[in-house]
C-alpha cells in the first residue's frame, strides 16, 4: 500500500452534498440525513496542512460547486497552491455560474468532469462488506492488502479529519466514527502506522478490495451485505427508508474471485473523463496511451512532466514574490 505522501493526489472534501443520488455511490450520497459543508476557516486550514506535499491537491465533494463559499475557496487555493497542483472533481453542475472562476483556478486537464447523467457508468458496491461474504480470513486479508483504492485513489481531508483512504473517510462520516488524524501541517508525511486504526475499523466493512460484479447507475438500489444492511436499518438512512438497498447474501470462494477478477477493473468505472470527448481530446488520449504502453516513452513522459511541473512552480513562486 502506498504511503499518503507518495499518493498522486490528496482531496479536500468541502461538502458531501450532491444533486445526484447514484446507485453504489462511494461517498454514500443519499444515506446521509443532511449533508455537511466544511466552513471556510477549516478549508483554509486543510489547504495549509498540505504545505510541502508534492502531489495534486483536489477540491471535491459531493459536488464542490454547491458549497456557498466556493469562490472564496478557489481564491485561497490560487494564493496557496501552485497552478500545476490544483485539481477539481465535478459533475459539471453550476458550470455556467462558476465557469470563469474554475478556468482561472484550474488547468483544463485538471478539471475532472464525471458525467453522472451517463446511465452506463458503473459504481463498485462498497457496502458489500468483505467480512460478510469472504469466509476465508487469510484470503480476505490478502485481498485487503492489495486494495486498488489505497493504491490508485487519493487520501482525503473532510470535516472529521485526515484519512489515508477516501472510502474509509466516507464510512467514518456515514457511521459517525471517531474521525481521522487532526488537520495539521505534516499529517500527510506520516507512515502507515498512524492510519492503522482507520484501516482496522473500515477495511473489513468495505467491499472495495473484493472482485465482484458492478452495477450501472440505472440500477436503483445499493448492493449491501448484512452488517452494513443492519447499520443502515438502525440509522434509518433516507435511501434505506425509500427501499433503495438490496441485501446481497452471496458468498465468494477463491474460484469465484479468480473468475470475476479476470475482467475486473473497478478503477476504470469512476472518475473517467467526459464520455463525449471532441476529436482533439480523443487524439490526445490515443497519444497518451501510446506513451503509457511503451516503457522508454513512459520514462520520457514522466521526465517531461517533472520539467513542466518545476517550471510552473518557479514561475508561480516568482510571481508571488513579485507581488
User: Residue 9 pLDDT more than 50?
Assistant: yes
Q: What is the pLDDT of residue 305?
A: 63
User: Residue 279 pLDDT more than 90?
Assistant: no
Predicted confidence (pLDDT) per residue in 309-319, tens digit: 666 666 566 65
Q: What is the pLDDT of residue 308?
A: 61
Q: What percent of the chain has pLDDT over 70?
A: 83
User: Residue 115 pLDDT more than 50?
Assistant: yes
Confidence class for position 213, pLDDT limits 50, 70, 90? confident
Weakest-pLDDT range from 144-153, 222-231, 281-290: 281-290
What's the average model confidence in pLDDT over 148-175?
Answer: 96
Weakest-pLDDT range from 22-31, 265-274, 288-297: 265-274
Q: What is the pLDDT of residue 121?
A: 75
3-state secondary structure of 165: coil
Weakest-pLDDT range from 33-42, 155-164, 271-280: 271-280
Q: What is the pLDDT of residue 241?
A: 97
What's the average model confidence in pLDDT over 249-255?
Answer: 94
pTM of the predicted model over 0.75: yes
Q: What is the pLDDT of residue 243?
A: 97
What's the average model confidence in pLDDT over 97-118?
Answer: 90
Confidence class for position 219, pLDDT limits 50, 70, 90? confident
Q: What percent of the chain has pLDDT over 90?
A: 72
What's the average model confidence in pLDDT over 168-178?
Answer: 97
User: Residue 274 pLDDT more than 50?
Assistant: no
Q: List Cβ neighbours of 320 (8 Å cut-off, separation of 6 or more).
A: none
The better pLDDT of the pair 31, 266 is held by: 31
DSSP-derived letter for residue 119 is T
The greatest distance separating any two alpha carbons of the chain, rounded to the nearest whole angstrom, comes to: 63
Q: What is the pLDDT of residue 272?
A: 38
Placement of cell 477516501 in the chain: 166
Own/partner contacts of 279-288, CB < 8 Å, gap of 24 or more, are: none
Q: List Cβ neighbours of 191 (8 Å cut-off, separation of 6 or more).
A: 3
Weakest-pLDDT range from 33-42, 64-73, 210-219: 210-219
Tell me, which fold does domain 4-268 have in CATH?
TIM Barrel (3.20.20)
Own/partner contacts of 239-243, CB < 8 Å, gap of 24 or more, are: 239/21, 239/30, 239/31, 240/31
Q: What is the pLDDT of residue 300?
A: 76
The better pLDDT of the pair 292, 120 is held by: 120
What's the average model confidence in pLDDT over 61-81?
Answer: 97
The better pLDDT of the pair 115, 134 is held by: 134
In this structure, the number of other CB atoms found within 10 A of the CB of residue 258 comes to 10
Q: List Cβ neighbours of 221 (8 Å cut-off, separation of 6 or more).
A: 23, 243, 244, 245, 246
What's the average model confidence in pLDDT over 127-139?
Answer: 97
Amino acid at each position: 500500500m502506498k504511503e499518503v505522501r507518495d499518493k498522486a493526489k490528496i482531496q479536500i472534501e468541502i461538502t458531501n452534498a450532491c444533486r445526484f443520488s447514484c446507485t453504489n455511490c462511494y461517498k454514500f450520497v443519499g444515506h446521509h440525513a443532511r449533508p455537511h459543508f466544511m466552513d471556510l476557516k477549516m478549508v483554509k486550514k486543510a489547504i495549509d496542512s498540505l504545505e510541502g506535499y508534492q502531489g495534486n491537491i483536489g477540491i471535491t465533494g459531493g459536488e464542490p460547486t454547491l458549497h456557498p463559499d466556493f469562490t472564496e475557496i478557489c481564491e485561497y487555493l490560487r494564493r496557496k497552491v501552485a497552478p500545476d497542483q490544483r485539481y477539481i472533481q465535478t459533475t459539471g453542475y453550476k458550470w455556467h455560474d462558476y465557469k470563469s472562476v474554475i478556468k482561472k483556478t484550474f488547468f483544463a486537464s485538471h478539471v475532472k468532469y464525471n458525467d453522472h447523467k451517463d446511465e452506463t457508468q458503473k459504481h463498485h458496491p462498497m457496502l458489500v462488506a468483505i467480512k460478510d461474504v469472504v469466509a476465508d480470513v487469510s484470503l480476505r486479508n490478502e485481498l485487503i492488502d492489495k486494495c486498488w483504492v489505497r493504491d490508485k485513489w487519493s487520501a482525503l481531508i473532510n470535516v472529521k479529519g485526515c484519512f489515508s483512504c477516501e472510502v474509509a473517510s466516507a464510512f467514518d462520516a456515514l457511521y459517525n466514527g471517531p474521525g481521522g488524524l487532526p488537520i495539521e501541517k505534516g499529517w500527510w508525511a506520516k507512515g502507515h502506522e498512524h492510519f492503522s486504526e482507520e484501516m482496522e475499523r473500515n477495511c473489513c466493512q468495505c467491499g472495495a478490495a473484493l472482485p465482484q460484479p458492478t452495477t450501472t447507475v440505472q440500477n436503483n438500489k445499493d448492493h449491501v451485505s448484512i452488517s452494513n444492511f443492519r447499520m443502515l436499518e438502525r440509522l434509518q438512512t433516507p435511501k434505506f427508508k425509500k427501499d433503495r438497498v438490496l441485501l446481497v447474501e452471496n458468498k465468494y470462494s477463491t474460484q469465484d474471485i479468480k473468475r470475476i477478477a479476470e475482467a475486473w477493473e473497478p478503477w476504470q468505472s469512476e472518475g473517467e473523463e467526459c464520455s463525449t470527448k471532441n476529436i482533439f481530446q480523443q487524439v490526445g488520449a490515443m497519444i497518451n496511451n501510446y506513451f503509457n504502453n511503451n516503457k522508454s516513452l513512459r520514462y520520457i513522459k514522466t521526465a517531461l512532466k517533472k520539467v513542466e511541473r518545476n517550471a510552473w512552480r518557479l514561475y508561480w513562486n516568482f510571481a508571488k514574490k513579485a507581488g
